[in-house]
Amino acid sequence: MRRKLGESRRRASGGFTLVELTIAIAVFAVGMLSLSGMLLAAMQGGSRGRHTTQASAIAESQMEQLQRVAWTQIAPSGGWSTPVVVHNTVQAATDQNEQSYSVEWRTTDLVTGWTRAVDVRVTWDEPGRPNRSVTFSSIRFNREGA
């Protein structure tokens, strides 16, 4: 009888054993570490997305400029132009980062005197991922006549 009475007192006092607490803390720590890893990956993905969006906007702007220029001013280049560096401030949720983008373009004849392919490439570097690029391509028709 004494044994049963002692066991019931221990159960009645409630609480957790040291082993149970250690296991619970270990499970909680593993969960928090995995959440922090996912948060870091999401922040890096957001930064990469902002840079890609900004590079796309720069490429689109350059493409529009090349589409507005007279036909005779965009002669086939035979290769990529000399890169032009564009500094742009990328707004993040908590701070601003200046990012440098390199813009270059090339034009090639598709049908001589009538159509030209116009390509615009924007490149930039990110921490841990150098030489990122976005390329826009279009075909320019000679609206001015041959």
pLDDT of residue 128: 81
Coil vs helix vs strand at 23? helix
Q: Does the structure show a pLDDT above 80 at 14?
A: no
Residue with tokens 């995995």: 34
CA 109 to chain centre: 33
This prediction has a pTM of 0.68
Q: What distance in Å separates the CA atoms of residue 108 and residue 85, rounded to the nearest whole number?
A: 23
- The segment with the largest mean pLDDT, out of 27-31, 112-116, 140-144, is 27-31
pLDDT of residue 44: 76
Q: What distance in Å separates the CA atoms of residue 126 and residue 48, rounded to the nearest whole number?
A: 8
pLDDT of residue 117: 94
pLDDT of residue 81: 85
pLDDT of residue 16: 86
Query: Range with the lowest mean pLDDT among 14-23, 56-65, 95-104?
Result: 95-104
Tens-digit pLDDT profile for residues 38-85: 888 888 778 888 889 999 999 999 999 999 998 888 888 878 888 888
pLDDT of residue 30: 94
Contact between residue 132 and residue 126 where contact means Cβ atoms under 8 Å apart: yes
Please report the domains of the chain, with CATH numbers, ordered by start residue: 17-141 (3.30.1300.30)
Task: Give 108's pLDDT tier (boundaries 50, 70, 90).
Answer: very high
